[in-house]
Structure 1
């Protein structure tokens, strides 16, 4: 065998360079940083969970709504445009739509909302009629003005306001041209009907009028039709529906008032400077109050959430032309109360405004809505 065919000796193996001292230090630091971060996460998460604000699910648990099959809501049943009960247990009005909006946020479908008629004097105690008796409702959404007396003396616990209106007066339209009502003082010496527990009663006494109290505003309107009182006073948003319902020209949106001997009414702007801010009474269930405020916050701040505007347009905005010069209600939702809820960063990205279960996935933005004129303040007649 020739020398050329013999295998030669194996060549030297290439040496793997040892990591430099600087590289080893960087690796050690990286491992140390990962360990420190892991320790911090393990330490911080229990602290956040223990002392941080509750999550929405925790609020639902605290409010006793987990697994609830229905939600009882006390509402008025005789206020056209606000809350009115029709045949076959059909309910319509601004308060009704606000109730559905809040129920949707709570995860309660419309079909599981039970509306129960509630009288004015029972709103603080949340006692509504059901059959032959009374039950305690979860929420009261019944044109209920927020006042310190109702909070401090009567025990009502209010959400943030959801509508701003003001006190006004209606008379029979035939009074126009003979007498002008530009202030409550113009009613001095007159019998004026209002709700028994209304904030209007004291103002009438101070103006020299004789307040006649009734449990239902429709009863006051009937007294006006019958000539037993000179005027009716309460919140403009409540009175507007009766004025609109008695218009001679039916444009397809006329309300059914259903009272005897109905006559055309005139709505008077009395220059009231005090705002009537309507709120939801949740009673002592503070977790439920926070959830209601979260729903109102989502409605006010989420540009894709038009539930409040839809309710206003369908029930209040179109009435304005029948009620001039009195403003029906401000077209802007009052500023909501911000409630802190615990959300992880990835939740905030996925759910930028507090999650709104029950919202329609096909909502259009406010800017894209036909006829939406922005959220500017309507003249209040102040």
Structure 2
């Protein structure tokens, strides 16, 4: 009789232990599937792809911290998804590897000056856009370059392999002297020294460089709007649930003025004349 009672008690304890384990495992899997963290410094992490070398947008600082508009937007979105700032793992994501990084699952989101276009939409889903940028020129503050055709006979810089400078030379200023450097920081240094007369890429990227303390007051944006670049947050193809949540977070960021604050904080010193916050799903061609 005593043996029977002991066996029944052991069996009941085993059932309770298995039930608790199953419940705990179910909760963790649910967080993973929905992309929502536990918040308040819990154990879950979210990996977000950014650039490490674009001041004002995505920059890894010497102390290991991260700054920039893309970082601020991604941090806000992550919080709305349930992740505290210390639960974000920032992953350097080069432009050429963005689609593969999402497909492999290396990152959950990508906020890295990622322009939405039809070709990319075949491979990934996008939330946003969260910023409308334009191809522009950065010149010295006292430069007489006010329009793209003024580049004829001038030295125009962009990074090796970029289509932006090549498009200007082919379509607008065929007599421009194209200089291709390894990175935009080299182009900016060349502009400062007088080795080049203008630098071209997205105005947001140019504004980020111009806003650095060491360059304040030296440069200006020409404000030419040579193209429309709709920045979106990249998400793995087919993950519509996450895309919907990110879109809601972006709408909230605009509504509570945090979006404009991020623009002012990161681009303000360059006197960047940003477009108003774009409406979700409104892609400007």
- DSSP-derived class of the 1:312 partner: helix
Does residue 100 of structure 2 align to residue 125 of structure 1? yes
- Structure 1 residue 111: deviation in Å? 0.3
Match of 1:72 in 2: 47
SS of the residue 1:159 aligns to: strand
Q: How does 1:129-168 map to 2 (within 5 A)?
A: 136-152=106-122, 155-168=123-136
CA distance in 2, matches of 1:142, 1:266: 24
Which residue of 2 is the match for residue 221 of structure 1?
188
- CA deviation after TM superposition for structure 1 residue 113, in Å: 0.6
Q: Is the 8 A contact 2:156 2:165 kept in 1?
A: no
Q: CA contact under 8 A between 2:155 and 2:197: conserved in structure 1?
A: yes
SS of structure 1 residue aligned to 2:211: helix
3-state secondary structure, aligned to 1:234: strand
Looking at structure 1, the residues matched to 69 and 196 of structure 2 have their Cα atoms a distance apart, in angstroms, of: 28
RMSD over aligned CA atoms reads 3.3
Q: Are 2:49 and 2:109, in contact at CA under 8 Å, matched by a contact in 1?
A: yes
The 5-angstrom pairing of residues 148-297 of structure 1 reads 148-152=118-122, 155-173=123-141, 176=143, 180-195=144-159, 200-201=164-165, 203-204=167-168, 205-207=170-172, 208=174, 209=176, 211-213=178-180, 216-225=183-192, 227-245=194-212, 255=213, 265-272=218-225, 274-284=227-237, 285-297=239-251
Q: Aligned to 1:221, what secondary structure does the other structure show?
A: helix
Alignment coverage as a number of residue pairs: 245
Normalised by the length of structure 2, the TM-score is 0.71
Q: Is the 8 A contact 2:139 2:222 kept in 1?
A: no
Tell me if structure 2 keeps the 8 A contact 1:81–1:315. yes
The offset of 1:108, in angstroms, is 0.9
Aligned to 1:298: 252
- Does structure 2 conserve the Cα–Cα contact (< 8 Å) formed by 1:74 and 1:137? yes
Is the contact between residue 110 and residue 234 of structure 2 (CA under 8 Å) also seen in structure 1?
yes
Cα gap change, 1:273/1:102 in structure 2, threshold over 3 Å: closer, same or farther? same
Moved more, 267-276 or 79-88: 267-276
Distance in 1 (alpha carbons) for counterparts of 2:36 and 2:73: 18
Deviation at 1:336, TM superposition (A): 2.2
Deviations 1:120-140 (A, max 9, x none): 32233337xxxxxx9822211
**Deviation at 1:162?**
0.7
Per the alignment, residue 8 of structure 2 pairs with: none
Q: Is 1:114 matched up with 2:104?
A: no
Cα 1:74–1:309 shift into 2, 3 Å = same
Structure with the larger RCO, 1 or 2 (CA within 8 Å, 6+ apart): 2
Q: Which residue of 1 aligns with 2:56?
A: 81
Answer with 1 or 2: which has the greater Rg.
1
**Unmatched 5+ stretches in structure 2:** 1-28
Aligned pair 1:313/2:264, yes or no?
A: yes
- CA offsets 1:47-86 (integer angstroms, 9 cap, x no match): xxxxxxxxxxx99664555677111112122322222221
Label 1:141 to 1:191 Cα distance change in 2 as closer, same or farther (>3 A): same
Rounded Cα–Cα distance in structure 2 between residues aligned with 1:237 and 1:218? 14
